[in-house]
Structure 1
Amino acid sequence: MRTVPLGATEARVSNVVAGMMRIAEKPDAEIRALYEAAREEGIDFFDHADIYGGSPHRCEERFGSALRLDAAERERIRIQTKTGIVPGEWHYDSSYEHIVSSVDASLRALGTDYVDVLLIHRPDALVEPEEVAQAFEALEAAGKVRAFGVSNHTPRQIELLRSAVTQPLVVNQLQLSITHSAIVAQGLAANMAGEEDAVTRDGGGVVDYCRLHDITIQAWSPFQKGFQDGVFFGAEEYPELNAELDRLASKYGVTPTAIATAWITRHPAGMQVVLGTTTPRRVQEAAEGSDLPLTRGEWYGLLQAAGHRVP
């Protein structure tokens, strides 16, 4: 398992992350099997959010109660959680009170004294950066959070937070897959009139911005066609992509899942791939793509097979 830097910190973390958003209804034994499969592959990073599981902190509670990690094992892994999305009357809340109370509830659910990384889950149009800064200061001083970041934020939204927040923002978790790859493809199509990928949607090159500012990109939904559209494996609208995935899987002696993972981990930004599976075998297949050496031609070939133009 290849490791990558966690933002500007001295820590290095696995470039494949075990996402825990689908464990709410899993029995303890299956959660333990999933955790053990991840650890056996060298994965030391586990991703949560307060909203995962259908009720607040449900997946965090299932993780904590099923595993009951001892102090030594807890220190060997990183637990990341997110806050800011409020279900019910759906809205976003990045106020001081909400951030701090959510973290306290996450710690109780997870059965731990601290989380390694806390992310603001979605950009909040009503954000007051000074309140976020106050919350981060309080959580850091209390030893409840060791590092901070964001999810789904544009460069300008990050800059707005940085105008008040003193801690480095070490992560930006963004949707990215071979087919959902505008944040990568738009740089290639720059200055190309009439090209869909030439349209800037993220406030100006979020991948390059994160590289320049030592922010680790975490790719969520790495196998999804689009936003909650299902996976691209075997999808009839992507015959060329699946043929190329199968060809490369045969060449390297792995599965298409490993190739799709490698397409992200091959990028020099040092990205992490956030898995959503609850199947240990799928975790193992993805882990095989952690350090798979796709050539430049193969990497660009996959992007083109997914329908993106490489001028």
Structure 2
Amino acid sequence: MTVSRASMAEDGFEFSRLIAGFWRLKDWGMNDQEVLAFIEQCLELGITTMDHAMVYRSEEPFGRALALKPELRDRMEIVTKCGIRPVGFGKLGAKAVNHYDSSPKHIVASVEQSLRDLKTQYIDLLLIHRPDYLMEMEEIAEVFDRLESSGKVRNFGVSNFTTHQFAALQQACDHKLITNQVEFSPYNMGALDSGVFEQAQAYGTGPMLWSCLAAGQLMTGADEKAKRIMAAVNIVKEEVGASCAEQVIYAWVLGLPCNPFPLLGSSKIERIRQAASSEQYALTREQWYRIWEASNGAAVP
């Protein structure tokens, strides 16, 4: 079974429903050939969308691997992010204080560096990584226009924006913002009540969802909340015939009506294969709310 494809926006560019996340690539201990093999295995599963950010330091090792087999570029969509300037990050980093920078100069410099490191001529989707309290919406809109006209970026979006921040930037932009990448899992359900998912439905966009396994907290069951959630997940696992709890968690996330695109963060291809099968499990409302109730710690009022 291969992962399905969908557009993040109406009549828009298609991405794989599950996305390979490379946040921790620099810690995976893989050489270039091993990274290439991992990329190829993801592609074979239909996971064609690859998520990066400049601050992940994942772009350069990914680019080196891609350079070993550059024809793979035509089979994938590359997502990356800009706008965070940490201290000690070379010429694009901060001098003394970590900060956000959504100025046109920094966005352009970040894109140019990402293109060099990723060994590609274009980025399929560029995200502003975090809301910059000093961001000038019209300036961002104008630089988006320039990057699209130059062929360097094909689509634009944001990450970790509130609904008001997203709406304000969208109002300034001629280009449609096709996603807001936010944290969401059965452990961290804050996005359910933030309005982000309702806004995605209203705007016809698909949110990208990071840390769907709560950075491992769910699988380790380190606290009472995680234990409650996993107990509920395991009940649903038996009911639907899933082979592992992770499939149920991703099926729970995919059950949202807002056209979600969950990110996978594992370097283990077997876990990626298991996640790739999660689309076959459609939870009932009662099963979905069983997991919600376990996280909430109380029944639906």
Q: Mark yes or no: TM-score above 0.5.
A: yes
- The aligned counterpart of 1:196 is none
Provide the secondary structure at the position in 2 that maps to 1:163.
Answer: helix
List per-residue Cα deviations over 1:113-162 (Å, max 9, x = no partner).
00100000000100001211121111101000000000011111012212
Say if 2:57 is the partner of 1:67.
no
- Is the aligned partner of 1:125 residue 2:124? no
| Identical amino acids, percent of aligned pairs | 36
1:149 correspondence with 2:157: yes
Q: Note if 1:182 corresponds to 2:181.
A: no
Q: Give the conservation status (yes or no) of the 8 Å contact 2:160–2:181.
A: yes
Aligned pair partner of 2:272 in 249, 274, 283? 283
- The alignment status of 1:40 with 2:44, answered yes or no, reads yes
**Given that residues 117 and 146 in structure 1 are in contact (C-alpha distance below 8 angstroms), is that contact kept between their aligned partners in structure 2?**
yes
Aligned AA (1:45): T
**What TM-score do the two structures reach when normalised by structure 2?**
0.89
The code of the aligned residue for 2:60 comes to: E
1:294 matched to 2:283: yes
Asked whether the 8 Å contact 1:117–1:147 carries over to 2, the reply is: yes
CA distance, structure 2, for counterparts of residue 130 and residue 105 of structure 1: 23
The aligned runs of 1:95-174 (5 Å cut-off) are 95-174=103-182
The CA deviation string for residues 156-205 of structure 1, in whole angstroms up to 9 with x for no partner, is 10122123221000010000001101221x3xxxxxxxxxxxxxxx4xx1
Give the structure 1 partner of residue 228 of structure 2: 240
- Asked if the contact 2:62–2:118 (Cα under 8 Å) also holds between the matched residues in 1, the reply is yes
Correspondence for 2:217 among 231, 254, 262: 231
TM-score, with length taken from structure 1? 0.86
- Between the aligned partners of 2:83 and 2:105, the Cα distance in structure 1 is 11
3-state SS in 1 of match to 2:10: coil
CA shift, 1:11, in A, is 2.8
Deviation per CA, 1:226-284, whole angstroms, max 9, x where unpaired? xx6x4212414132321222233334232111111111111121101111111111111
Offset, 1:298? 0.7
Cα contact 1:2–1:291 (8 A) shared by 2: no
Q: CA-atom RMSD, angstroms?
A: 1.7
Tell whether the 8 Å contact from 1:264 to 1:273 is kept in structure 2 after alignment: yes
| Greater CA drift, 234-243 or 68-77 | 68-77
Counterpart for residue 19 of structure 1: 21
State the distance in 2 between where 1:295 and 1:65 align: 44
Q: How far off its partner does 1:75 sit?
A: 2.1
C-alpha spacing 1:69/1:172, structure 2 compared with 1 (3 Å):
farther
8 Å CA contact retained: 1:9, 1:170: no
Q: Is the 8 A contact 2:8 2:178 kept in 1?
A: yes
SS in 1 for 2:180: strand
Residue 176 of structure 2 aligns with an amino acid whose one-letter code is: P
The Cα shift of 1:72 comes to 4.6
Counterpart AA for 1:8: E
Count of matched residue positions in the alignment of Structure 1 and Structure 2: 284
Q: Which sections of structure 1, spanning at least 5 residues, go unmatched?
A: 54-58, 187-201
SS in 2 for 1:101: helix
Q: Distance in 1 between matches of 2:160 and 2:114?
A: 21
Q: Return the structure number with greater helix share.
A: 2
Name the CA shift for 1:16/1:308 in 2 (closer, same or farther; >3 Å): farther
Return the match for 2:249 from 239, 254, 260: 260
Q: Residue 213 of structure 1 corresponds to which residue in structure 2? A: 203
Higher mean alpha-carbon deviation, 100-109 vs 38-47, is at 38-47
Contact kept? 1:37, 1:283, Cα under 8 Å: no
2:262 partner SS: strand
Question: How far apart in 1 are the matches of 2:111 and 2:264?
Answer: 23
Which structure 2 segments of 5+ residues have no match?
88-96
Secondary structure (helix, strand or coil) at the match of 1:51 reads helix
